[in-house]
Structure 1
Amino acid sequence: MAPAPYTVNDVMTETVVAVGPDAEFKEIVAAMAQWKVTAVPVVEGEGRVVGVVSEADLLAKEEFHDSDPSLIEQMQQLDEMAKAGAVCARDLMTTPAITVRADASVSQAARRMARQKVKRLPVVDDSGVLQGIVSRFDLLKVFLRPDDDIAAEVRREVVDRLFRVSHSGIGVDVTDGMVTLTGTVRDSHLIPVAERLAFGVEGVVDVACDLTGPPQVSGEDRG
């Protein structure tokens, strides 16, 4: 059984600054400046996320502030041109919002950020209501786990489960997130499994697997 992964709920920020669809341009900029964030979810009704306004959405106004793009350039940048003339969140936001559930694993959230090329994800419930927000840095928090905690989880969830007989002779050392497994096990076929599972423990940077199987008995020794 693989170690239980950290979820978005374990690392997300629950206090989130959000704006309504009618929030004006300067109000959005002021909120970002006050809370030191680079994007804000746009919510309506009971807190359902309908979009996100980021710095990139706002910068379109400055980008075209003193320029005179040709008709061809305007046609090629219709979205940016529209946002340059927008004055409220409804017209500035990127929609639909790319979101994530609180019970998603940290790895799933990281893959979604990478694929969608975003720096943060609003966290929503089944109804799309805002629960928090998770950023790239939040996902990296798992690497701040103390070495002792990582070692305890590797021993409990990997060593003790896989090697029920020989587990007491297996060493688990963790330094700066680097796991080293040492010792002799009865079933050498489980060694690559142990290495893979240890690498799956949250906060592990790398694994050095120095486990060995039982000594080979030669024909002479058998005689």
Structure 2
Amino acid sequence: MKRLRTVNDVMTHAVISVDRGAPFKDIVEAMRQWRISALPVLSEDGRVAGVVSEADLLLKAQGADESRAVTAGQLMTVPAVTVTEETGIPGAARLMAHQHLKRLPVVDADGRLVGVVSRGDLLKIYLRPDADIAEELRELIMAELIPAGSAVVQVHVANGIVYLDGSLPDPSLKDVLIRVARTVPGVVDVTAARLDTEVRA
């Protein structure tokens, strides 16, 4: 499995969207047919003008909407909360959690729709094989953190949990290693109880 870093690595490229003029019933039918809870609303040039969600439509069903809105352009929430293809997966997850959103439109540099990322898409990083996570972390340790021959660190990964074992010449490296391990996509937790901070004789 390739390394999953950005929204572009996990997003859905085939996107269901509507234009501003889409009528209420067509929006409901599209959501039902494709089993989605929100749709990007596009302007004529393909840019994301807003998002219409089930919550927007339910205002009508509750009789709480007095605006007489009947099209996507009238019903949509603006401005739309979007991310770019290069947004990191952790950043997209934080935005989604902060805004209480289930899906985010993904736009290119010109604001045109190129995909959609969902909560389920972001969770794909936890499907990475343990062996892939371990290999990436070993490369990081050897290439960037520990000078050759100055330490011995073994990496084992089981169910996404990283276990670090071995010895380090500098106590400060332990915290650095733990922080770096937590940034590797797919890591659930890091345990370093058996990582000594003095080189063994």
Could you state the TM-score of these two structures normalised by the residue count of structure 2?
0.91
Report the AA paired with residue 59 of structure 1.
L
Cα 1:187–1:58 shift into 2, 3 Å: same
Report the AA paired with residue 81 of structure 1.
D
Name the SS of the counterpart of 2:19 in structure 1. Answer: coil
Cα 1:121–1:27 shift into 2, 3 Å: same
Deviation at 1:186, TM superposition (A): 2.3
Cα 1:159–1:181 shift into 2, 3 Å: farther
Cα 1:163–1:37 shift into 2, 3 Å: same
* Cα-to-partner distance string for 1:40-68 (whole Å, 9 max, x where unaligned): 0000123110010111111111111xxxx
Partner of 1:179: 162
Partner of 1:49: 48
Partner of 2:189: 206
Deviation at 1:89, TM superposition (A): 0.4
**What are structure 1's unaligned runs of at least 5 residues?**
65-79, 218-223
Name the SS of the counterpart of 1:180 in structure 2. Answer: strand
Aligned residues: 198
Cα 1:82–1:138 shift into 2, 3 Å: farther
Could you state the TM-score of these two structures normalised by the residue count of structure 1?
0.83
Give the distance between the partners of 2:52 and 2:199, measured in 1 at CA: 63
Give yes or no for contact 1:11–1:141 (8 Å, CA) kept in 2: yes
Give the distance between the partners of 1:174 and 1:164, measured in 2 at CA: 23
Tell me which protein shows more helix as a share of its residues: 1
Name the SS of the counterpart of 1:181 in structure 2. Answer: strand
Report the AA paired with residue 32 of structure 1.
M
Give the distance between the partners of 1:172 and 1:120, measured in 2 at CA: 35
Give yes or no for contact 2:151–2:167 (8 Å, CA) kept in 1: no
Name the SS of the counterpart of 2:18 in structure 1. Answer: coil
Percent identity between matched residues is 48
Cα 1:184–1:45 shift into 2, 3 Å: same
Give the distance between the partners of 1:208 and 1:148, measured in 2 at CA: 17
Give the distance between the partners of 2:169 and 2:181, measured in 1 at CA: 18
Report the AA paired with residue 116 of structure 1.
Q
Give yes or no for contact 1:166–1:184 (8 Å, CA) kept in 2: no
Partner of 1:75: none
Deviation at 1:158, TM superposition (A): 2.7
Deviation at 1:159, TM superposition (A): 4.4
Cα 1:156–1:215 shift into 2, 3 Å: closer
Alignment of 1:70-219 (within 5 A): 80-82=64-66, 85-166=68-149, 169-209=152-192, 210-214=194-198
Give the distance between the partners of 1:96 and 1:146, measured in 2 at CA: 38
C-alpha RMSD of the superposition: 2.0
Deviation at 1:215, TM superposition (A): 5.1
**What are structure 2's unaligned runs of at least 5 residues?**
none
Report the AA paired with residue 8 of structure 2.
N
Alignment of 1:29-44 (within 5 A): 29-44=28-43
Give the distance between the partners of 2:200 and 2:137, measured in 1 at CA: 28
Deviation at 1:166, TM superposition (A): 3.9
Partner of 2:62: 63
* Cα-to-partner distance string for 1:168-202 (whole Å, 9 max, x where unaligned): 83211100000001011222321110011001111
User: Is 1:27 aligned to residue 14 of structure 2?
Assistant: no
Give yes or no for contact 1:166–1:185 (8 Å, CA) kept in 2: no
